[in-house]
Structure 1
Amino acid sequence: MEKEIEMTKFEEEKEEVKRFTRSIYVNMEQSTKKHVKENYTRSRGYGKIGIIKKIIIEEITRISFIYFLIISIIEGIITKEKEGTTIAPLIVLIGITIIKEWIEEYGRIKEEEEENKEKVTIIKGERRKRKEIKDIKEGDMIELEENSIVPCDCIILKGKTSIETSEINGRNELEKKEGIKIIREKTEEKIRKEEMSFYIEEPNEKEEEFEGKVYIGKEEENIGIKNFIRKGSIIRSKERIIVLACYIGKETKEGIQKEKRRKKRSYIDNMKEFYIMIMIIIFIIMGIISSELNKRWNEEKGGWYINYKKESKWKIILERIYEYSSIIPISVIITIEIARNIQKRNIERDEDMKNKKGKVKGKNAGLNEELGRISHILTDKTGTLTNKYLVFTKCSIGGKIYGKEEKEESFEEEEEIIENKEEEEEIDIVEIETKEIIEDYQKKGKQGKIIEEFFKGLLICQRVEIKEEEEEIEYFSETKEELAIIAGSKKCGFEIIESTEESISINNREKKITYRILKRYEGEEGKKIVIVYDGKEIKVYCKGREKHMREGIKMKAINGKILKENEEFNEEGYLTMIIGMKKMKIEEYIEWVEKGEKEEEIEKDIILIGITCVEEKLEKGVKESIKKFQEAGIKVWMVTGDKRERAINVGKSSGIINKKKITTNIKIRNEEEGEKQIEKEYQIRKKNKKERGNNLIIDGKSIEYCLKEKNKKKIQKIIKYSENAIFCECTRKQKGKIVKIIQEIEKKSILAIGDSINDIDMINKANIGIGIIKDKENEATKICDYSIPEFRFLVKLILIHGRYCYRQIGITLFYLLYKNIILIMCEFIYNMFCGNSIIQIIPKSVKIEYNTLFTSLPILIFSIFDRDIPPYIIFKYPKLYKNKDYISPISFCWWLFNAILSSFTIFFISYVVLYNDSLLINGKVINYDEFTFIIFISIFIVVTLKVFFITKRYTILNFIALFFSIILFITLLFIQQLFPSFDNWFWFNVFIQMLQTPVFYALVLLIPLILFSKDFLWRHLKRKFIPSSNHIAEEIAYKNISKTYNTIKSINERNLFFQSSWHLPQNQHDYLDFSDSDSDSFDLDHQNEIELTNY
């Protein structure tokens, strides 16, 4: 009978274990099956060899590459001499790109390898040995100490611990974890030898779920999430723990969720491909038209004496397409790539964006200009906006508010701060001014008694571990809020000396008092009710959030003032705890116990005596930075894994949430409730389409529900018409979905910034991803496009560098097309006069020199150093960030129109002036060679001066580039005169003759004069009658050009955003001036009231 029972039990256990498909055996003959080779996960999803394959695929799929490859093939078909003028530079360009990107990617992989070489202690039988993280296997027993980072997903065998998960899920509170009950009581020696079998579920991405079972001999126990710790968690308890590796490498919860890094392309790159396609269509049409017209001319007017070869119609078209393909030279891509990389270098060298943690690092130069067209910034909270510390800032005791002392820093104090900015800052979690509290307590009046009861209640209602080290007491708690409150109490003279389950001892500045704990109740979000006895009387102390208080307490008139203050503190963005107490007679307590110790009964008649105000400490400059972005028209929204209440508090204190606006809270827990809430908010937005001022607060679970097909359009509308938003309690995947939905709504550039594993999907899917640099490289900085040490550095990165780069690259792209359209259009017009035959008025070799030597340097200097408005003006008027769209189709059409008009002007003025057989100095008539030479010289002068016309800030480099290009051009012309066989040069001796011909000087002066008179006239009329904000800002900068360093008044703003300029010589930093000056009178919102000065 017993055997049958045992067999039945065995069968039941077998069935239960079946649902757990993974097994791990410890100290047993049966070995654990290894599912993954090594505990190594790559942040980008590929190794050293995979990099080259990835880069090649990315490059060869670009339209520009395909275009140049086709042109190279056409060149090979139609030309007898295999010059390789297209394929050679294309191969070099692709080669350089592959080498550059391979070096960058290889560097990142080397960093990952170094990180995975860190060692942990492995317990194997009687031995302990150090093993590299990458060599950890499933079933290894690992020893972890305080501040250790968990190297893989583990099951806790022995010990209790608190873990920090802010790097994983953005939550700022510690989580309690414990070992398996049947194991944790055993000694370490026994655990080393004990035969144990673990059965666990398949690896999955569910962050808050884990199931398994363990067998030790005849003992068994279920394993749950409380025994499980994820890779990346940080051990925050003093106690050493022993864990078992259960999932490693790509099978960890982090590894399963990991996505390959997305190759990002800027808006300008996409538009460049679009405009290239347009130009391809244009010159194909030109080629077809030219070939058809040539065919007709030959049929109608062709000479009988010319022996025309019968050629394929398509070959003729291809010949013309090849000739006109110079409209898009490879130099367009090369110039832009060089400019981008130098811009990235300049950004990295900016001393204003540097601190002790590091400096800005660009990892994707192709996105420099994308920083200039940001519409939304999606930011993480913990570690990005806040520094992970909770600070006890103020409190209300008996209706009297004790707050942080506000100090006004003088000029000298500010200067001292800046001089010592590199020194290590010590974080103080108590900012409350204690002097007044101590004075009121020592007066021994009514307020003094309330203060004593307030701090007693605070300390009694805490649950902390106490450890004495070197005569100092150290406190450990699950919540950082409790630690801040305990530290604040200690500063005021009230300190916990001992704490057990049965009693608590407090030092109240005068004596030590020990209380016996009779009963303790714990509720949500730190709510505690504690009944204590001091040998004389029984007191009830309670602590908690207002929302968890019973209505009976709220209804008491005596508590009204405290509740009103609490509401005000919440509006300011503080995390508040209300403290209450009451006395109880012994008879009342006995009666309460006899009636069943009901919690609601004990809360009756509690009087509220005070409030604690704790805030998450914002990083330096966060509030000011968000304000700047909002003034610039950029929406800053929070996307965090932290709880709703904390997210809202930080949203208010940082300025993300507008306190004056209506707030929509969406919290869906069932389908019926969700349907009603979404429909209600949708209808409100539908009726008030023009009003975009509301705040939106929504959590991750609600987002999942809203993204269902039937609700998707409605939530998109709700998000679209929200000015401010907080997405809280979001998982890593949900953060990525939020980026996606905003991109679908706005169709603009989204920037995401974060510092932890939980932010990776958001950073990867955003148009630009920013990682916050910590003491050591984290997952966010590995996968991001740019990394910065502090959130405030984002201001200069976006408003200044982003704005400049967007303008520079946008104008550079159109200029590079402009200068080649002029060249080819002149050739096209000339051929119209020659029966549309393929006559090169400018040789192919000269076109290459034109693009690579003669005209490349001035525009390159422009694309790196030019800026239309000084930084201090942009900081004063952040709305200037919203550039006109330099890459828009309208801008393209304007440049195209200018290029065609310039080519017609150059050709026909030359044609008209030289039509009547103008004579050279030697008596010869100007012929084909001289005519084409004058056209080329005119083109060169016009396109070179065009760079100077579009330049807003002239430096010595602009003039060096101009004179270098001219001198190089003239030098090559003279060299080619000396060597007539050089490169089949057919302008031999023409340059010398032209220098002696007056009409040559007349033309090269007249043509630019006519063209630029038109440009100057348009610029003047536009500034006079339809000025833009940019024009007005330029005027402000021009009028204040003589401002000096000594007039600076906005020291605080300079300290936040322009630290490095403080000690520069006066003449080097005038353009960074923030001083209040006459420019204040300029109002960018009232442009018509400003009289512009033409300069």
Structure 2
Amino acid sequence: MIFFLPWSLSRSCCECLVHTCRRKKELKVRTVWLGHPEKCEEKYPKNAIKNQKYNIVTFVPGVLYQQFKFFLNLYFLVVACSQFVPSLKIGYLYTYWAPLGFVLAVTMVREAVDEVRRCRRDKEMNSQLYSKLTVRGKVQVKSSDIQITMKSKQTGLMYDLCPQEDCDPPIHESLSIENTLWASTVVASGTVIGVVIYTGKEMRSVLNTSQSKNKVGLLDLELNRLTKALFLAQVVLSVVMVTLQGFLGPWFRNLFRFVVLFSYIIPISLRVNLDMGKSAYGWMIMKDENIPGTVVRTSTIPEELGRLVYLLTDKTGTLTQNEMVFKRLHLGTVSYGMDTMDEIQSHIIQSYAQPPAPKVRKSVSSRIHEAVKAIALCHNVTPVYESCVNGASTEPESTEADQDFSDDNRTYQASSPDDVALVRWTESVGLTLVNRDLTSLQLKTPAGHILTYYILQIFPFTSESKRMGIIVREEATGDITFYMKGADVAMASIVQYNDWLEEECGNMAREGLRTLVVAKKSLTEEQYQDFESRYNQAKLSIHDRALKVAAVVESLEREMELLCLTGVEDQLQADVRPTLELLRNAGIKIWMLTGDKLETATCIAKSSHLVSRNQDIHVFKPVSNRGEAHLELNAFRRKHDCALVISGDSLEVCLRYYEHEFVELACQCPAVVCCRCSPTQKAQIVRLLQQHTDNRTCAIGDGGNDVSMIQAADCGIGIEGKAVFSSIFYFASVPLYQGFLMVGYATIYTMFPVFSLVLDQDVKPEMALLYPELYKDLTKGRSLSFKTFLIWVLISVYQGGILMYGALVLFDQEFVHVVAISFTALILTELLMVALTVRTWHWLMVVAELISLGCYLASLAFLNEYFDLSFITTWVFLWKVCVITLVSCLPLYIIKYLKRKFSPPSYSKLSS
């Protein structure tokens, strides 16, 4: 109890203190006074990034807490502290504190290096101009290609409604959430003026991010358990020794003295080699030529990559490139694919070459014209020209003829890659978006004429409405048209009755296409004026403004004319198919978590080979209550070896009523696809796998909606830019025994050979990629199981007995000679045992063995109190050491040879 009670009590107190310090501040209404700083007494956080774990004051206490919350490190500390008690002291203090100090020094240096890297990244980001922004500050952004906010802790800006400082003031209406410029927003064109309302840690993106946890590797947890087992064995041995004495005298004190004497059963060098080995693994990952640019943010868990069972991945930008390509246009009676786009282009040229003639029944040409025009107008895309990007912006008063609308220097910017793909497609068929500002859009026809459309209203896309709309007035005719596009689930109830939309949406989704429904509604001047009046009145409301505005907009979204259905393909990442097959063959279960619709997610799972070709797929039917969930789970239970596809809504119902049953069934599936999944649900799924299984999880993503999932997983991988799957990480598990002599054996004589085992490979990297099934052996954890642990304990007992009693009983009676023979044989045995575990020799391993042997031989000249130099230089000493070493190691080499001969491991079969 002396070891466990302070440990558990201190850990509970520290965790309670941490929880109290991390308690979120209560949110309240914020009032920003412009031009009256004296009216605002509240202090606001600086607009600075801070990703550091510690500061100057908390670094040492924080690192010590993270180290001593594990039994292994706490054990060494208690043993060292026991030497301050005179009745328990059995040696010099430095023999206990020097190894512990070395271990802590290595750990602190490693943590300091990681902390300095984080500090440099923060300093680099905080040196940007935006770090000077403060709440109540007024900001003007001119450039067309400036990213206002960067990374995760950035500034929110409130837009004025006029694009220039000298423009006429707009109608006096109350500002709403739509007037807020959030983080990671790009100003595509024009000039905006805003007021800073939130900075630093009060940013929405920061508040939506959960507190990152200190991740602990499975190897550390397993070693912690094995350390407790060794400590228990140590206590049992101490009790046996006291029992043999007959509990005479101060037996309780003797019991603790025996515990201290047996403390070397748990080698302190183990901690040193592990920490340095992890740092070496992290360095090798960053230097891998096959994955250039990889950065290891945390050097304490690189070995986790060799123990993964569940890989949870995002779809867009991770499995796919997030580069959309227009693939299909469906008008209800006719469908156009990539091979028939020339027909659409000819229809567009024809429709603009001759004046439109009113017809009772619309022709195919007119329907194509209306559909393409709607797609070219209903979006949030802004064309940006090279002259503007380089800083030479066009003057507001420049005429239309003076502007350079050439195709060579035009690029499109938008918040949605789908919109960019649609606008690029309209350009390819002849109708080009050439200019856009807050009040108008300009389209160029195939004949080169410029058509101007005035923007009357815009209804942005939201995750709740799943659609966007725009009301425009054509300059030439004065016609007012309301265009809208969105997901089929949102548009089905808005458009006029049709018998083809649902079926074609399903067909496109099964092809892996992202679908959008496009519709329009013509408005008279009176209808629009009535709508505008009601809309402005709703926006001026103080109470329930959002509900009133939504009600007014919904009154316009009725009986809209269905124009077309578009299909856009999100292209797969390079080499994603062979990579996923490789991971699946390695025994890693892959779960795809995406916000896309069910059909699209299912098709991507098939095309990316997340689900193998001959594998069945069970689509979990939509459920809304406990009874439906029970029936569907029973139906799913009868399936065997099939992939699961489930929506976020159904998942929420199942987890509410049948959490354990659902997770148990899902974990038996070779692959799982969760569609319409929110960022919160992604993190929840990771935590469920951790709670209900003992396996390690890895999350990989590229966007802000993946941050919570990555933080929750045991191993998180973030992709920057257009990075792709390119490699599988694998690590071979490595099996890891008084004065200055004690310190030297633990930290000098045997450290280099054991540390050099980080270079060991059971098979070559090419062989591991060719036979990914070898990875399954690592995930089973057999290299560090209790069985393996007991085998090494028995080996240690055998070798310890041979070394000690061989020198004491068989050869010599003088104590100084016994020490020389036994300790020299011990060093040689240790070096030979390291060689016994090596599978693939590296030249640095040989150097490490020679350095260790050289250090020991050199130290003999300075350790006169332990060794008789005249005896060491005799042939008697040499042959006795060789005989003892041979007896202690030869049987193990014979057993290893026989095992490889008659029961070889899988990797050795492939190597041969």
Q: TM-score, normalised by structure 2?
A: 0.75
1:659-696 per-position Cα deviation (integer Å, ceiling 9, x unaligned): 8533435766xxxx2323432333234x43x7252323
In the TM superposition, what are the counterparts of 1:155-170 in structure 2 within 5 Å? 156-159=158-161
The reply to whether residue 901 of structure 1 matches residue 798 of structure 2 is yes
CA separation of 1:243 and 1:185: change in aligned 2, threshold 3 A: closer
AA at the equivalent of 2:265: I
Q: Is the 8 A contact 1:380 1:638 kept in 2?
A: yes
1:920-951 per-position Cα deviation (integer Å, ceiling 9, x unaligned): xxxxx765554554444443333322222221
SS in 1 for 2:633: helix
In the TM superposition, what are the counterparts of 1:476-495 in structure 2 within 5 Å? 479-495=416-432
The reply to whether residue 269 of structure 1 matches residue 271 of structure 2 is no
Which of 976, 992, 1008 pairs up with 2:889? 1008
Which of 656, 664, 667 pairs up with 2:619? 664
Distance in 2 between residues matched to 1:852 and 1:515, nearest whole Å: 79
Distance in 2 between residues matched to 1:27 and 1:190, nearest whole Å: 21
Distance in 2 between residues matched to 1:148 and 1:530, nearest whole Å: 29
The reply to whether residue 887 of structure 1 matches residue 784 of structure 2 is yes
Q: Is the 8 A contact 1:874 1:880 kept in 2?
A: yes
Distance in 2 between residues matched to 1:759 and 1:506, nearest whole Å: 37
1:459 is displaced (CA, Å) by: 3.1
SS in 2 for 1:273: helix
The reply to whether residue 458 of structure 1 matches residue 372 of structure 2 is yes
SS in 2 for 1:989: helix
SS in 1 for 2:839: coil
1:223 is displaced (CA, Å) by: 3.9
Distance in 1 between residues matched to 2:492 and 2:712, nearest whole Å: 42
CA separation of 1:937 and 1:639: change in aligned 2, threshold 3 A: same
Q: Which residue of 2 aligns with 1:325?
A: 263
CA separation of 1:91 and 1:185: change in aligned 2, threshold 3 A: closer
1:217-238 per-position Cα deviation (integer Å, ceiling 9, x unaligned): xx975443222333x2313441
Distance in 1 between residues matched to 2:519 and 2:197, nearest whole Å: 46
AA at the equivalent of 1:149: I
Q: Is the 8 A contact 1:458 1:579 kept in 2?
A: no
CA separation of 1:117 and 1:963: change in aligned 2, threshold 3 A: closer
1:1010 is displaced (CA, Å) by: 3.0
In the TM superposition, what are the counterparts of 1:185-200 in structure 2 within 5 Å? 188=166
In the TM superposition, what are the counterparts of 1:169-568 in structure 2 within 5 Å? 184=162, 188=166, 221-230=173-182, 232-295=183-246, 312-354=250-292, 359-393=293-327, 402-403=337-338, 454=368, 457-461=371-375, 462-464=377-379, 470-472=404-406, 479-495=416-432, 509=446, 525=467, 548=491, 567-568=506-507
1:565-610 per-position Cα deviation (integer Å, ceiling 9, x unaligned): 765542231124578999xxxxxxxxxxxxxx9998785xx8x9x8
Q: Which residue of 1 aligns with 2:667?
A: 720
SS in 2 for 1:961: helix
Q: Is the 8 A contact 1:45 1:259 kept in 2?
A: no
Q: Is the 8 A contact 1:390 1:481 kept in 2?
A: yes
In the TM superposition, what are the counterparts of 1:978-1057 in structure 2 within 5 Å? 982-995=863-876, 1001-1023=882-904, 1028-1035=905-912
CA separation of 1:850 and 1:241: change in aligned 2, threshold 3 A: same
1:811-833 per-position Cα deviation (integer Å, ceiling 9, x unaligned): 2xxx3xxxx1xxxxxxxxxxxxx
Which of 67, 83, 89 pairs up with 1:59? 67
Q: Which residue of 2 aligns with 1:877?
A: 771
SS in 2 for 1:363: coil
Distance in 2 between residues matched to 1:436 and 1:261, nearest whole Å: 55
Q: Is the 8 A contact 1:640 1:730 kept in 2?
A: yes
Distance in 2 between residues matched to 1:543 and 1:681, nearest whole Å: 34
Q: Is the 8 A contact 2:314 2:700 kept in 1?
A: yes
Q: Which residue of 1 aligns with 2:539?
A: none
Q: Which residue of 2 aligns with 1:940?
A: 827
Distance in 2 between residues matched to 1:543 and 1:626, nearest whole Å: 34
The reply to whether residue 860 of structure 1 matches residue 807 of structure 2 is no
1:497 is displaced (CA, Å) by: 6.9
Distance in 2 between residues matched to 1:566 and 1:743, nearest whole Å: 37
1:486-537 per-position Cα deviation (integer Å, ceiling 9, x unaligned): 32343344546799999999767568698999x99999646999999999xx
Q: Which residue of 1 aligns with 2:511?
A: 572
Q: Which residue of 1 aligns with 2:718?
A: 771
Q: TM-score, normalised by structure 1?
A: 0.64
1:643 is displaced (CA, Å) by: 6.6
Distance in 1 between residues matched to 2:313 and 2:659, nearest whole Å: 23
Q: Which residue of 2 aligns with 1:950?
A: 837
Q: Which residue of 1 aligns with 2:397?
A: none
SS in 1 for 2:300: helix
The reply to whether residue 616 of structure 1 matches residue 570 of structure 2 is yes
SS in 1 for 2:257: helix
The reply to whether residue 747 of structure 1 matches residue 711 of structure 2 is no
CA separation of 1:238 and 1:495: change in aligned 2, threshold 3 A: closer
1:685-720 per-position Cα deviation (integer Å, ceiling 9, x unaligned): 4x43x7252323332x66565554x44334434543
Distance in 1 between residues matched to 2:880 and 2:405, nearest whole Å: 98
In the TM superposition, what are the counterparts of 1:605-754 in structure 2 within 5 Å? 612-640=566-594, 650-656=604-610, 661-665=616-620, 673-685=624-636, 687-688=637-638, 691-699=640-648, 707-708=655-656, 710-717=657-664, 719-728=666-675, 732-754=679-701
The reply to whether residue 111 of structure 1 matches residue 121 of structure 2 is yes
Choose 1 or 2 for highest CA Rg.
1
Q: Is the 8 A contact 1:43 1:260 kept in 2?
A: no
Distance in 2 between residues matched to 1:946 and 1:528, nearest whole Å: 75
Structure 1 portions without partners, runs of 5+: 1-18, 121-132, 160-183, 192-215, 297-309, 404-431, 583-596, 775-788, 821-842, 919-924, 977-981, 1036-1095
Q: Give % identity.
A: 19
Which of 99, 103, 108 pairs up with 1:98? 108
1:360 is displaced (CA, Å) by: 1.3
1:362 is displaced (CA, Å) by: 1.6
Distance in 2 between residues matched to 1:935 and 1:436, nearest whole Å: 91
Distance in 2 between residues matched to 1:20 and 1:69, nearest whole Å: 47
1:656 is displaced (CA, Å) by: 3.9
1:217-264 per-position Cα deviation (integer Å, ceiling 9, x unaligned): xx975443222333x231344132222222333333233344443211
Distance in 1 between residues matched to 2:163 and 2:436, nearest whole Å: 23
In the TM superposition, what are the counterparts of 1:37-76 in structure 2 within 5 Å? 37-40=45-48, 42-44=50-52, 47-76=55-84
SS in 1 for 2:44: coil
The reply to whether residue 138 of structure 1 matches residue 135 of structure 2 is yes
Instruction: Please tell me the root mean square deviation across aligned C-alpha atoms, in Å.
Output: 4.8
In the TM superposition, what are the counterparts of 1:775-794 in structure 2 within 5 Å? 790-793=723-726
AA at the equivalent of 2:889: P
CA separation of 1:1030 and 1:542: change in aligned 2, threshold 3 A: same
Distance in 1 between residues matched to 2:829 and 2:90, nearest whole Å: 34
Which of 87, 97, 109 pairs up with 1:87? 97
Q: Is the 8 A contact 2:760 2:839 kept in 1?
A: yes
The reply to whether residue 964 of structure 1 matches residue 897 of structure 2 is no
Of stretches 750-759 and 277-286 in structure 1, the one that deviates more from structure 2 is 750-759
